[in-house]
Structure 1
Amino acid sequence: MRIQEVRELIRLIDQSNIDEFEYEYEGAVVKIKKNSDSVVVNRGVVQADTYQPVEQVAPIAEPIAVQQVVKEEVAKVDDANLVKVTSPMVGTFYASPTPDADAYVSVGQKVSSNTVVCIVEAMKLFNEIEAEVDGEVVEILVKDGQLVEYGQPLFLVKK
């Protein structure tokens, strides 16, 4: 399944009255739940009657806390000199090329428009994300290994 197909599924489910959707194809499982307190991502192979999950993501914070974080983020981004580097796709954020390597960038580091700032892994493809702006990294908005959405801010860069 391609990332565009997953995005389209998310958009269609979001616009519908469906609260839960599950799709299984060639051992991959896509499970979408709306109005849920947690997100679970399972990667594994379906063999006979056994399924072995590989990764689970912790519950999402309370909705009120999420609203407060979003309001604080909007206040920070209102500064005209700050530019958001956003995720071009849904996937998993990685701050470094390998688990034992140093992060691509850190707070206070100068970047140019073609500087690789992170990797977003989607469907076993590792996509290098460039800053696309010259400046200094002010804040890293996501944690290593965190799931990110299309258009989600990853970094704040001061021009």
Structure 2
Amino acid sequence: MLKVQEIRELIKLVDQSSIDEFVYENEGSKIKMKKNVNSTVTTFQPAAQAAVEAVPAVQTVPVQAAVPIAQVHEIKMETAKEETNKQVETANLHKITSPMVGTFYASPTPEADSYVKAGTKVSKDSIVCIVEAMKLFNEIEAEVNGEIVEILVKNGQLVEYGQPLFLVKPE
């Protein structure tokens, strides 16, 4: 069973961290802490009623919000609008996806320039990148005529099968 001082230390650690919820269970005892923008709530459930009498009550610890709640709502609303606009914009774009699991390379050699950049015009057979899988370097073609709008992965990044690599505005 945790001592009161240990519980206080846990509260401080959760308060200072970026996690929103913390649960600790041991020998039938359970401590659950949830953190909101404006408060930290802590509950303690001991294994037996006798343990409740031995442990003083744990209090709610207020947290000073770094940003006023009204501003947080405004930020959330703005990001939701941006995401909606981005979805509408990307709905008309073609996604060039990785045909395999491997490592993404933007250029044929480390010293060479990238195959494409944002704004580059491509044709169906234009090579846009290389995906290396099992020491084989596979050239990936654009698949459509158009303009590269965005590169979604970084050079040297591991990519999954079907993961979008580029957004292309078709012509």
Letter in 1 for 2:165: L
Gaps of 5+ in 2: 1-78
Gaps of 5+ in 1: 1-67
Work out the CA distance in 2 between the residues paired with 1:136 and 1:113. 11
Aligned to 1:123: 134
Q: Tell me by how many angstroms 1:81 deviates.
A: 2.8
Work out the CA distance in 2 between the residues paired with 1:73 and 1:110. 27
Work out the CA distance in 1 between the residues paired with 2:85 and 2:92. 14
Aligned to 1:41: none
What is the TM-score normalised by the length of structure 1?
Answer: 0.52
The structure whose Rg is larger is: 2
SS at match of 2:128: strand
SS at match of 2:139: strand
Aligned to 2:119: 108
Q: Does 1:151 align with 2:162?
A: yes
Work out the CA distance in 2 between the residues paired with 1:114 and 1:155. 15
Aligned pair in 2 of structure 1 residues 77, 106: CA closer, same or farther (>3 Å)? farther
Q: Share of identical aligned residues, percent?
A: 74
Aligned to 2:102: 91
- Higher relative CO (Cα under 8 Å, sequence separation at least 6) belongs to 1
Aligned pair in 2 of structure 1 residues 74, 122: CA closer, same or farther (>3 Å)? farther
Aligned to 2:4: none
Q: Tell me by how many angstroms 1:136 deviates.
A: 0.2
What is the TM-score normalised by the length of structure 2?
Answer: 0.49
Q: Tell me by how many angstroms 1:149 deviates.
A: 0.1
Q: 1:142 aligns with which of 153, 163, 167?
A: 153
Name the one with the larger helix percent.
2
